[in-house]
Structure 1
Amino acid sequence: MLFLLVPCFRIKNCSSGTISSLILLRKTHYEPLRSVSSFVLRHRYNMNIAYFRQLPNEEQCSISFHLVNERYKINKVFNFCRNVTENIDASAERMRANIEKELKKRTNKKRKANVGTASEELVKTDPVPEMSSSVSEVSVRFFDMEKEQDVKDMPFSELIEKIQVERHILLKVLDDDFRITLNSPSVQTISLPQSILAGFYVYPSKLELIFADKDQSDFQWFRGRMPKSNNAQLIEWEMVATGYSYLVSPADVGHHLKFVCIPKTSQEVGTLSEVISATEVQAGPGQCPFEVRHLFTQSKLANQYQFRVVTYNILADTYADSDYSRTELFGYCPNYALHIDYRKQLFIKEIVGYNADIICLQEVDRKIFDLDLLPVLRLKNFDGNFKAKGNTAEGLAIFYDVNRFEALDSQGITIGECLETLEQFQGLWNQIKTNEKLAARIKARSQAVSFTLLRCRQNPLKHLLVANTHFYFHPDADHIRLLQGGFAMLYIRDMYERFERELQLDRAHFGIVFCGDFNSTPECGMYRLMTERFVGDEMADWQSNEEEAVRGVTLSQPFPFQSACGCPKFTNYTIGFQACIDYIYYQCDVLRVNDVVPLPSEEELLAYDAIPSPVFPSDHVALVASLEWTNKS
């Protein structure tokens, strides 16, 4: 079996601590790396490569090169960082001194190993080069190939300019010449999640590229078993997939996974980097209830007049990962099943499996949006946007299938921050602001509403205003939630009328879908406002807190809405609370329900006492409905 030795950089901050500086690739795996490996680059230019990198507006330039010298028995990656104001003669001397130090260290180790053990014949066949006190044999210099002379006595910044413009400057180290490449595509940070389950998607928990295009870069997945010696460098790797994400196979259980990234742009290829999982692949939790629901959504909707909508509160990590959550709020859930590395595998597979066209999510951690949801869903032809809830670490996300829809606008507000500034809020705000406790409480809330205006690609006449929200949760706050609903509908109405006017839209082909965790049961005023379009001042919600009671206020909104999934018994199910509080409201004069994916049974929700659980990643369940345009002209 033929193997190739492909140099690559050691990755810092890797959780496994077992990243090798050399990787072994079977010959059958060589073709995908042919254009990018250091092996091939070295032969293409008949020399090694020194990688120089300087970020914009930084005064430091990092230098990295792989020195392999048979004469001095050295095989090591050297990394240096030099100030751009420094004279290159001083830089070269500093690099020379470090290389000499490494050579002396290796020579001394070799001599000690030979003392009293090596035979005279062995010493003759494996000589150790002598290192005198003189440093004349170790040289580091910059060389101009065109002028055939050394480059000396200039600031490092000037050398960088020469490299950029002239491209014929070499770095000469010992007997080797290094072609200098400046700001080549590279991997700055790479890591894998702590939990990897068979049957679920895995992808880098963090991947930061610099001077590279992720869409142009290449990714590969390998699996291998750790030997009894626990030496990762001895793992025999088998390639299992290409691409940014990988659906882990049951055959991977008990193996470590390795992720390989080859950073690229359309014009340049950078240095290969890799990371090995800190833990072995574990068996999954068995069939999850959402996988049964996937039987109803095995493919995308083909009818151009239909689209599938998902709304889902995925439980923010900031609320699940705390002592109170683990011991009190969700004390019935095993700790491992509350960890975000475990839960995100479940909710991402669940969301992807619904084959939706529009996805509205609540309690989305910003880092989960950036590092997990957006990268994975983009692989499924989705794009999306995020709206933070005030200054909190979580917020709202709306995703849409770019093959079905084109986004024309995306905006959002934090309701409490806009009560005194948005013109459309002033009528309602003036009615309640005299109650100081009420005004202070609703202004302090971080609840938000966001929207995305979509145009159907197959039917450009048709437009959707997709709104998303998450209202205040407190038990004594029915009045706050109802007011938030009133303000949200004022905002949505204003946006709807603005787009209708500016884009000259026909109302027969312009609909609203309003999703979210409204924290309101069907008996509350919010459901009445949406489905009956009016809430009077006699509504009980107004009196949910006596000191903040709302008096003499009525609410109305002009759009005929219905709940796509009706009023199921539960959309939230914990030990302390079970009720229907999540909805997909749709404008029923231009849209109708085509079908609804059945919700899990109460027996499934009770399998681990409540949710979240090892098979439910959130304390909410997703609502999934297919909607259809009533006017097909």
Structure 2
Amino acid sequence: MRILPNISKTFAYRVKFFRVSQIIRYYGMMSNAYVRYEEGSDRFNFSFNLEYKHVNRQFNFNRSVSETINDFVSRISTNISKALDKKKKKEKGQCATSGIDSDGLVKLLRDGVPLPSDTKCGEIIREDGLQLIVCDKMYGIVFNPPWVRSLVLPDSILADFPAYPSKIELEFASRDFSWSPIGEGFFYTPTSNDIGSRLMLTCTPRTKVAADEETYREGPKTEAISPTVVEAGPGVCPFEVRHAFTSERVSEGSFRVVSYNILADTYVDSDFSRNVLYPYCPPYALAINYRKQLLLKELI
């Protein structure tokens, strides 16, 4: 893995680009379990990563706040049992692969003391000092950490054209600060050395502990891998020749106007448009993620 220039979003997340030759699916979530709950909702999300014997995967649950601790722990036990059964047959010394005893290897504690089994999850999920024990591994339970809900890279990435996340959705992350560039800033422009490789984007969501402090609370890192490899660009574009006439900024009190007639994606995303309206244009060049790169490079 080769690290490429990284960028930082101070208001919500820190982002890094990597060049990789293979897809990495998960990023270690350390020894924390995470509760995400929107006030007023009747359900909550619970996530943790288990690395035990031959299992290394993230478990995600969406449960009712009215569910009891006993039922919640039983569901965790059942899902882990299924994962163990799927990966490997029962081996001596491992967690039982047919219903882990919730009073044994899966426990929910508060300050080291088991919680009453009939307690409703909604009554305790906001409390400090909660702990989860799974297969002798202890997790500190974090309530509403800064969280990356969705992180996607575009399906077309060209050398010498800026690349950036095509979708990023956050939860419980502050949004009141401007971009602070590190390295290349928010955008990364792939080079010819990157052709044939994928881009990996890692994002660490964060929020300020207090408005008047420079201390941040961070959530777990999230990764996104570009669905395609970096490809060679189209070469010199007509607008690059035109840029020679506007190489300097305009004088104070003046501004330039750019007028565009950008073909909407809805008019090109059909067999009729590809075969009848624009048969002279290759399909990849009609794709909006390809055209956006050219437009972006022309404007900036």
Both structures adopt the same fold (TM-score exceeding 0.5): yes
Tell whether 2:86 aligns with 1:144.
no
Indicate how the Cα distance of structure 1 residues 342 and 260 shifts in structure 2: closer, same or farther if over 3 A, else same: same
The 5-angstrom pairing of residues 235-384 of structure 1 reads 243-267=185-209, 268-301=217-250, 303-352=251-300
In structure 2, what is the Cα distance between the partners aligned to 1:203 and 1:343? 14
Q: Amino acid of the residue matched to residue 84 of structure 1?
A: V
Q: Which has the larger radius of gyration?
A: 1
Q: Give CA deviations for 1:356-390 in whole Å, capped at 9, x if unaligned.
A: xxxxxxxxxxxxxxxxxxxxxxxxxxxxxxxxxxx
Q: 1:76 is matched with which residue: 48, 51, 57?
A: 57
In structure 2, what is the Cα distance between the partners aligned to 1:219 and 1:258? 18
Q: Amino acid of the residue matched to residue 315 of structure 1?
A: L
Q: Amino acid of the residue matched to residue 86 of structure 1?
A: E
SS class of match (1:285): coil
Tell whether 2:76 aligns with 1:95.
yes
1:508 match: none
1:98 deviation in Å?
Answer: 2.6
1:85 match: 66
- Report percent identity of matched pairs: 41
Contact kept? 1:217, 1:263, Cα under 8 Å: no
Q: Give CA deviations for 1:101-140 in whole Å, capped at 9, x if unaligned.
A: 434555516x6xxxxxxxxxxxxxxxx4166689558432
Contact kept? 2:163, 2:188, Cα under 8 Å: yes
Contact kept? 1:54, 1:60, Cα under 8 Å: yes
Tell whether 2:163 aligns with 1:202.
yes
1:345 deviation in Å?
Answer: 0.8
Q: Amino acid of the residue matched to residue 347 of structure 1?
A: L
The 5-angstrom pairing of residues 216-615 of structure 1 reads 243-267=185-209, 268-301=217-250, 303-352=251-300
SS class of match (1:263): strand
Contact kept? 1:216, 1:264, Cα under 8 Å: no
1:573 match: none
Aligned length: 269
In structure 2, what is the Cα distance between the partners aligned to 1:219 and 1:300? 22
Indicate how the Cα distance of structure 1 residues 314 and 104 shifts in structure 2: closer, same or farther if over 3 A, else same: closer
Indicate how the Cα distance of structure 1 residues 290 and 53 shifts in structure 2: closer, same or farther if over 3 A, else same: same
Q: Give CA deviations for 1:545-571 in whole Å, capped at 9, x if unaligned.
A: xxxxxxxxxxxxxxxxxxxxxxxxxxx
Q: Amino acid of the residue matched to residue 66 of structure 1?
A: N
The 5-angstrom pairing of residues 67-216 of structure 1 reads 67-69=50-52, 74-103=55-84, 106=87, 108=89, 128-129=92-93, 135-136=100-101, 138-145=104-111, 148-152=112-116, 153-161=118-126, 163=127, 167-213=128-174
Indicate how the Cα distance of structure 1 residues 38 and 242 shifts in structure 2: closer, same or farther if over 3 A, else same: farther
Q: Amino acid of the residue matched to residue 143 of structure 1?
A: L
Contact kept? 1:85, 1:155, Cα under 8 Å: yes
In structure 2, what is the Cα distance between the partners aligned to 1:336 and 1:243? 28
SS class of match (1:265): strand
- TM-align CA RMSD: 3.0
1:282 deviation in Å?
Answer: 1.1
1:272 deviation in Å?
Answer: 0.9
Indicate how the Cα distance of structure 1 residues 75 and 219 shifts in structure 2: closer, same or farther if over 3 A, else same: farther
Question: Unaligned stretches of 5+ in structure 1?
Answer: 2-16, 23-36, 40-47, 112-127, 221-240, 353-633
1:21 match: 26
Indicate how the Cα distance of structure 1 residues 295 and 138 shifts in structure 2: closer, same or farther if over 3 A, else same: farther
Greater per-residue helix proportion: 1
Contact kept? 1:104, 1:131, Cα under 8 Å: no
Tell whether 2:45 aligns with 1:62.
yes
Contact kept? 1:213, 1:263, Cα under 8 Å: no
Indicate how the Cα distance of structure 1 residues 141 and 312 shifts in structure 2: closer, same or farther if over 3 A, else same: same
Contact kept? 1:255, 1:281, Cα under 8 Å: yes
SS class of match (1:300): coil
Contact kept? 2:29, 2:48, Cα under 8 Å: no
Indicate how the Cα distance of structure 1 residues 139 and 257 shifts in structure 2: closer, same or farther if over 3 A, else same: same
In structure 2, what is the Cα distance between the partners aligned to 1:323 and 1:336? 13
Indicate how the Cα distance of structure 1 residues 242 and 211 shifts in structure 2: closer, same or farther if over 3 A, else same: farther
SS class of match (1:108): coil
Contact kept? 1:64, 1:78, Cα under 8 Å: yes
Q: Amino acid of the residue matched to residue 152 of structure 2?
A: S
1:96 deviation in Å?
Answer: 2.2
Contact kept? 2:78, 2:99, Cα under 8 Å: no
Indicate how the Cα distance of structure 1 residues 149 and 312 shifts in structure 2: closer, same or farther if over 3 A, else same: same
Q: Amino acid of the residue matched to residue 160 of structure 1?
A: I
In structure 2, what is the Cα distance between the partners aligned to 1:219 and 1:271? 21
With structure 1 as the length reference, what TM-score do the two structures score? 0.39
In structure 2, what is the Cα distance between the partners aligned to 1:62 and 1:321? 36
SS class of match (1:63): strand
1:171 deviation in Å?
Answer: 1.8
1:197 deviation in Å?
Answer: 1.0
Contact kept? 1:261, 1:273, Cα under 8 Å: yes
In structure 2, what is the Cα distance between the partners aligned to 1:305 and 1:134? 73
1:181 deviation in Å?
Answer: 0.8
Indicate how the Cα distance of structure 1 residues 318 and 98 shifts in structure 2: closer, same or farther if over 3 A, else same: closer
Q: Amino acid of the residue matched to residue 265 of structure 2?
A: D
SS class of match (1:306): coil
SS class of match (1:308): coil
